[in-house]
Amino acid sequence: MSDETMGTLNNNLKQYTSGEAQPQPQPTNGQSDTWSPTSWQSKPIKQVVKYEDQAAADAALKQLTKLPPIVTPTEIWRLRTSLRDAALGKSFLLQGGDCAELFSYCAEDPIDAKLKLLLQMSLVLIWGSNKPVIRIGRIAGQYAKPRSSPTEIMDGKEVPSFRGDILNGYEPDQRRVDPDRLVSAYFHSATTMNYIRAQLGSGIADLHNPMDWGLGHVGDKELQSKYTAIVNSISDSLRFMRTIGADTSGQLQTVDLYSSHEGLVLEYEQSLTRRLKHPAGHPGAQTSTDGKGWYNTSAHFLWIGDRTRQIDGGHVEYFRGIENPIGIKVGPSMKNDELIELLDIVNPGKDIGKVTLITRYGADKVESMLGGHIEAVKSSGHVVVWQCDPMHGNTRSTSTGIKTRSFGNIFSELSSALKIHKQHGSFLGGMHLELTGDAVTECTGGSQGLDDEDLSLNYTTYCDPRLNEKQALELAFLVAGHYREDAGS
């Protein structure tokens, strides 16, 4: 192994475990005195939840206010500091998980499968980009889904739409909004997060045993060969480090993995928003009168969906007041001036990396829209994390009415985003994917060559189609290959 290769591998090993930067002095959140966790209630709101038994809903929400936080301010600020580097092009954000997480996914095997897949993908991306990778799962709380219609047809009958396990069940006889599900969502989130912490603390991400992650359902020999080559390079580097007495095993046994979900059900988010002490090094610890701030303790990272980002709406009002890093979905209908007004509201202090813009145009629209948004944000003085969501803009229905996505369109939008950011002197800071560690057949294409007729083989999603393990890992290799080619050009 050449000295140059060894140096690169050693740097990558350090990057694998970092995913964070040292705390930087940053301005405070710019909250106005008029904000409170309940101030969103005075604003118009989309995706309204109506409970038949409001007294039961009030009791459930009151119970939530007494339960302990699922995440801590220290964890939240560690992520926020890491995202500052992603905004500056120094690291890459990998965010992925189920479209609609179900309570039944709170089990050992489903959690392990997603956790291992995200670890595998991050290893590939570090190898390709020579950057630390920040890992955020759509996990431990992604229980709510926005719907375009209050009802849908199921088995020939019109029933209330499935809005995620936090509100109602998928089966037709479970479509009534049940307030007890709010508390159940908390306990499933907390249990999932507890298991993730335990697994990471027990060495599931230990680079001394990277093949322990396995490749699950991936049967493609070429893909296995590529991944094995990366693992072998890491193993060679570790053996060399042990030989010269520079083994840093303590730093290579675990990584950070953060939780995220769409902050859709605001009464739930409000109940888990707490006035908590800022961690050491936080600028607000000196500037606020009590050394505290408002933290959403249901997840490390939350985002506003494309359906609920109204300037004068309740969701924007709620999001502008929390300390957590936040995301905003940016679709084809977003105007340049609207985007800047939105950023000014949720991040008046222009904190670098506080906001992640999650672009979701579709493969046929990204070329005409992304450049204008990039230039508008650059002119505004905001420095955001630009993240590509190549899933939501590329959904279609088959002739038999099955929702699917084409792997080719997904990669096309992602590769176009990489190219357009480079053309505009910007950085694509990450990608946002709906994926699963299971061998599902929900998206067509990829090296498996799945077509519409194959979707029925193992189509298990309860909402939108997800990449299976092989397709997700394949996408990571394609993005990593782009970075390696770009570095060599």
Residue ranges of the binding site for phosphoenolpyruvate: 138, 329, 360
Query: What is the DSSP code string of 173-200?
Result: GG-S--THHHHHHHHHHHHHHHHHHHHH
Q: Cα(343)–Cα(168) distance, rounded to whole angstroms?
A: 33
85 and 91 in contact (C-beta within 8 Å)?
yes
Q: Specify binding-site residues.
A: 99, 138, 329, 360, 392, 434, 464
Q: What is the DSSP letter of 410?
A: H
Query: What is the DSSP code string of 271-296?
Result: HTEEEEEPPTT-THHHHSSSSEEEEE
Q: Specify binding-site residues for Mn(2+).
A: 99, 392, 434, 464
Q: What is the DSSP letter of 105?
A: G
* CB neighbour list of residue 20: distance below 8 Å, 6 or more residues apart: 78, 79, 81, 82, 85, 132, 134, 256
Distance (Å) of CA 465 to CA 162, 194, 346: 15, 27, 31
* CB neighbour list of residue 445: distance below 8 Å, 6 or more residues apart: 406, 407, 408, 471
Tokens read off for 357: 């813009």
Give the DSSP H or E segment for 237.
helix 221-243
Q: Single out the residue of 422, 269, 259, 262 nearest to residue 329, CA to CA.
A: 262
Secondary structure class of 420 (helix, strand, coil): helix
Secondary structure class of 448 (helix, strand, coil): coil
Secondary structure class of 423 (helix, strand, coil): helix
162 and 146 in contact (C-beta within 8 Å)?
no
438 and 449 in contact (C-beta within 8 Å)?
no
The residue whose two tokens read 């459930």 is 60
* CB neighbour list of residue 57: distance below 8 Å, 6 or more residues apart: 51, 179, 182, 267
In the chain, helix, strand, coil percent, each to 5? 45, 15, 40
Tokens read off for 405: 């996505």
Is 152 exposed, middle or buried (CB count within 10 Å of its CB: 0-12, 13-18, 19+)? middle
Secondary structure class of 22 (helix, strand, coil): coil
Q: Single out the residue of 416, 412, 362, 143 nearest to residue 265, CA to CA.
A: 143
Q: How many CB atoms lie within 10 A of CB 52?
A: 10
Distance (Å) of CA 451 to CA 316, 404, 407, 440, 441: 40, 10, 10, 13, 9
